[in-house]
Structure formats: structure tokens, C-alpha cells
Amino acid sequence: MGKVDRGITALTRGAKRYSLAALARQALGGHMGWPRAWRDAAPRERYQVIIIGGGGHGLATAYYLAAVHGIRDVAVLEKGWIGGGNTGRNTTIIRSNYLWDESAALYEHSLKLWEGLSQDLNFNLMFSQRGVLTLAHSVHELKEMSRRVNAIRLNGIDSVVMTPAEIKKLVPIIDISPNLRYPVMGGFFQQRGGTARHDAVAWGYARAADDFGIDIIQNCEVTAIRRDGDRVVGVDTSRGSIGADKIGCVTSGHSGVLAAMAGITLPIESRPLQALVSEPIKPVIDTVVMSNAVHMYISQSDKGELVLGAGTDAYNSYAQRGSLPVIEHMLEAAVELYPIVSRVRVLRTWGGIVDTCPDASPIISKTSVGGLYFNCGWGTGGFKATPGSGHVFADLIARDAPNAIAAPFALDRFESGRLIDEHGAAGVAH
Ligand code: FAD
Ligand code: PYC
């Protein structure tokens, strides 16, 4: 049994269970006796490990620190509410069809964890392997896709090229007529890809981490990272100073801000990325379709909303909202490719701040400051990596050394030039 399996068994033993009678009593009694899923912890004076950022990646890291490495003296500090950053703002596409070996290893590790995660956490994450299709709109794109599919399959990951006719069968609402502005020339499909309920991921990890005694502290903004010489010793927060031997920063779009607090610079730019949902309608599409060339993608949530995503705004910003031109461009493309979209109303639009590295790959790394680690740079595509990222980052923090999956994503790649250029696979080009 591997370390992760042992942790998971321990968690399942400790998980809260309810009898049917107790469930019925709660349902009829307005849930008045329903226990909190995690404690409302107050900060202690010090911890062995502090994780800054209560998104999916930070919470997963805390969970695996306890489940795999037995490190329970851990606090997760979140400036707002857990999952309120990109974790709760993303469009939940999960896949592992990346080009380079290093990325394939990382994202496939994650996908394998997703496949058992609801059971491991004893929490329904609504993980649905409904498949992810990426369209080609030019001969060049189609040829490039065929090469990509070969590379993906050589890494043992499922991927097939599809013809327009096969795509029409899979996605009846798509227009494949050849005179479109964005004609559908083909695509590639990963059946094991799909979606999950984003905030359930945060809640599931939070509850499981709390079961191990980890403190999840919301409304606690880190305002300074304290150093003694070349080592971290703690943080200042809106709820006082807290000491720590080790600090993991998992703050996505604000990673540059946190790095500056420790006196280091990261090769990261932060930009808004937008998405929207329609009013709920009956089921019309049961897979995920992405179209990188036109920066639009579509799926349907279990509530019936069409989930539509766009590309990043063209400017750097920390504001969690975007601009109308990006949405207009995306909706124009959506209506052309899926004419029924012209008949539905937009229910809600929003933006998140994505943190992007020059090679469109993440940073999972030690830093020049002892005891300080960064996990960031996931850009537009980190939701799918949540379990794998947390798992390898916990390993890095526990052992102070990267394992084989994490090592290529260290900061030193920006000095050595061993970049992992995933612009083509990043889904939403960034
Ligand atoms: P977050 O969830 O953002 O968590 C970071 C946390 O740090 C935040 O909660 C924030 O409040 C907290 N924080 C920041 N500063 C401080 C501080 N000083 N003190 C304390 N806490 C702090 N990825 C996919 O794989 N598939 C998709 O379909 C997809 N779609 C996307 C669509 C949109 C519109 C957006 C915005 C992103 C999308 N992504 C997608 C990307 C994905 O959402 C992110 O890569 C991923 O969620 C990052 O998770 P995280 O836990 O690192 O960050
Ligand atoms: O990384 O697959 C992805 C993605 C899709 C939409 C946003 N990111």
C-alpha cells in the first residue's frame, strides 16, 4: 500500500457517518443540528507548516501533508473564504492531454487521483468523465493536433483524433458547415477528461484536512512574510503574527504579491480570465468542447446552465472582473458554432485572476529563502491539477526536495532555460 493509500484509509476510518434516520431527522428539522464540515479555527501562536491560500491547491496540500506525511501541525490561512479565488470561479475542465512528458506526468498523476477522489475524501465532488473535445479550425491546427495526439498516446494517455462527422454525432448542437468563420475541420478527444463541482473540491479537502486536526482559518490575510536571515520564521496577518518552520504559498493570481513580501521576484503575470453561464435549460450537450483558436469553450452544468468560457484580458490586473469586449468576442464565436446559444439569456458573468508563467507551465518550487515554497503559475488551467499539485507540493514541503514529478517545475528552469512550453496545450491560450 502506498503512502497516499494509507492516508486515505485512515481518513475513511475517521470520516463522519450518518444513519438514514439521522439524515431524515435533519432534512425534516431544517438542518438545525447539522455539524460544521470544518471547525472555525482561531490562529495559534505557531505551526510547523503554514499554507497561505485556501483554494483547492492549498487545501489539497494541507490534506496530503497530514494524510501522506503525518504532518498535522498545519494551518491554512485564507484572506477571504475558502474556494473564493479561482477555485470557485473556474469552469472545471479536467484533462491530462498535454504535449510534453513533464506535463503529461503531472496532469496524468492528477487525473488518476481525481478518479478516486470522491471516495478518498468521502465527499461527492460530482466528478464526471464526460470527455473533453478540442476543435481544429484550420488545416494547420488539425495537423498539429494529429502530432499532439501521437505524443500524448506515447505517454500512455487516452486521446483520439475525430472527424467533423464524428464530432457532429457527439455534439448535435454544433454547426459543422464548411462556410463558417471558424469551420470545424476536426478535433481531438480525451474520454477520461470531464468536469467536477469546483467548490465541492475545496469543501471536500477542507473537511478531510480538518478531520486530521488541521486549522483552516478564513478571513485571515497574510500581510508580511517574516524572515530571520535567509529563513522564514512566520507571517504577519490581519489576525496577528503566527510563527512557522515552513511556509507554502499557494495564492494563484496574488503569488507575485506574496513573493514580494519575502523579497523575491517570480516570473509571473496576473490577468483577468472570464467566464459566464446561461439560464438553466434542458440537457443539450453532454461533453466539454473547447476551441482554442477562438477562445471559447462550452459545457453544461448539472443544473442545466451552459458554461461558456473566454480568453484572458489583454492587460495585467488584480481586479476580479474582466471587460465586455472579451465576452462579446466569445459570444460571437459561440453563436456561430452553436446557433442555439443565440436563444438563451446570460445569467451571470465573472472573472478570476490567473497567474501565468512565460512558458505557460506552473511553478512548484523551493525558493532562495529557506523554508519558503511556492506553488503557482497554473494560469488558466490549474483546476484540473488540484489533487496532483497538492500531492506533489506536500511532498516537496515535507522532504524539502522535489520528487520526480515536481522537479521539472522548479524555479531554476528560468535560469537553465529548460522551459516546458505548453502554450498550445494550455486550453485557453495564455
Ligand atoms: P485559488 O483558488 O485562487 O486560491 C488562492 C487563494 O489564495 C485565494 O482563495 C485567495 O483569496 C488567497 N490569497 C491570496 N492572497 C492572500 C493573502 N495575502 N493571504 C491569504 N490568502 C490569500 N483550470 C482548469 O483546469 N480548467 C478550467 O476549466 C479552468 N477554467 C477557468 C476559468 C476561469 C474564469 C478562471 C479564472 C480560471 C480557470 N481555470 C481553469 C484555472 C483554475 O481556476 C486555477 O488554476 C486554479 O483554480 C488555481 O487554484 P489555486 O488553489 O491555486 O488558487
Ligand atoms: O485548462 O482545460 C483547461 C481550461 C479550459 C478552460 C479554461 N482552462
Note the pLDDT of residue 17: 59
CA pair distance 82, 319, nearest whole angstrom? 18
Q: Is 345 helix (H, G, I), strand (E, B) or coil?
A: coil
For residue 36, give every residue at least 6 positions away whose Cβ sits within 8 Å of its Cβ, in sequence order, or none: none
Q: For residue 296, give the ligand nearest its CA.
A: 2
Helix, strand, coil percentages (3-state) for the chain, rounded to 5, are 35, 25, 40
Burial of residue 423, with CB atoms counted within 10 A of its CB: 0-12 exposed, 13-18 middle, 19 or more buried: middle
Atom of ligand 1 nearest to the CA of 84: 9
- 181-213 burial string, b = 16+ CB within 10 Å, else e? ebbbbbbbbbebbbbbbbbbbbbbbbbbbbbbe
Here the cell at position 124 is 461527492
- Best substitution site from 134, 223, 251 to test ligand 1's pocket, by max atoms within 8 Å of Cβ? 251
CA pair distance 46, 58, nearest whole angstrom? 18
Note the pLDDT of residue 292: 86
Q: Establish whether residue 355 lines the binding site of ligand 1, counting it when its CB lies within 6 angstroms of any ligand atom.
A: no
Q: Whose CA is nearest to atom 6 of ligand 1?
A: 53
CA pair distance 53, 43, nearest whole angstrom? 15
Note the pLDDT of residue 428: 63
Note the pLDDT of residue 15: 45
Q: Establish whether residue 222 lines the binding site of ligand 1, counting it when its CB lies within 6 angstroms of any ligand atom.
A: yes
This prediction's pTM: 0.94
How many CA atoms does the CB half-sphere of 117 hold within 13 Å? 33
Query: Domains in the chain, ordered, with CATH?
Result: 41-123+197-268+358-416 (3.50.50.60), 132-194+270-356 (3.30.9.10)
What is the distance in A from the centroid of ligand 1 to the CA of 108?
20
Question: How many other CB atoms sit within 10 Å of the CB of residue 386?
Answer: 30
Here the cell at position 219 is 478571513
Q: Establish whether residue 251 lines the binding site of ligand 1, counting it when its CB lies within 6 angstroms of any ligand atom.
A: yes
Q: Establish whether residue 262 lines the binding site of ligand 1, counting it when its CB lies within 6 angstroms of any ligand atom.
A: no
CA pair distance 149, 134, nearest whole angstrom? 11
H and E: helices and strands count for the chain:
11, 16
Q: Establish whether residue 93 lines the binding site of ligand 2, counting it when its CB lies within 6 angstroms of any ligand atom.
A: yes
Q: Please name the amino acid found at residue 21.
A: A
Q: Establish whether residue 381 lines the binding site of ligand 1, counting it when its CB lies within 6 angstroms of any ligand atom.
A: yes
Nearest Cα residue to 387 out of 149, 142, 119 = 119
CA pair distance 290, 338, nearest whole angstrom? 12
Here the cell at position 29 is 428539522
Atom of ligand 1 nearest to the CA of 92: 28
Q: Establish whether residue 201 lines the binding site of ligand 1, counting it when its CB lies within 6 angstroms of any ligand atom.
A: no
Note the pLDDT of residue 18: 67
pLDDT values of the chain reduced to their tens digit, one per residue, 430 residues: 344 433 333 333 344 556 888 888 888 888 777 788 999 999 999 999 999 999 999 999 999 999 999 999 999 999 999 999 999 999 999 999 999 999 999 999 999 999 999 999 999 999 999 999 999 999 999 999 999 999 999 999 999 999 999 999 999 999 999 999 889 999 999 999 999 999 999 999 999 999 999 999 999 999 999 999 999 999 999 999 999 999 999 999 999 999 999 999 999 999 999 999 999 999 999 999 999 888 899 999 999 999 999 889 989 999 988 889 999 999 999 999 999 999 999 999 999 999 999 999 999 999 999 999 999 999 999 999 999 999 999 999 999 999 999 999 999 999 999 999 998 876 665 4
Q: Whose CA is nearest to atom 1 of ligand 2?
A: 381
What is the distance in A from the centroid of ligand 2 to the CA of 223?
31
Q: Do 167 and 352 form a contact (C-beta atoms < 8 A)?
A: no
Q: Whose CA is nearest to atom 8 of ligand 1?
A: 85
Nearest Cα residue to 296 out of 245, 263, 336, 247 = 336
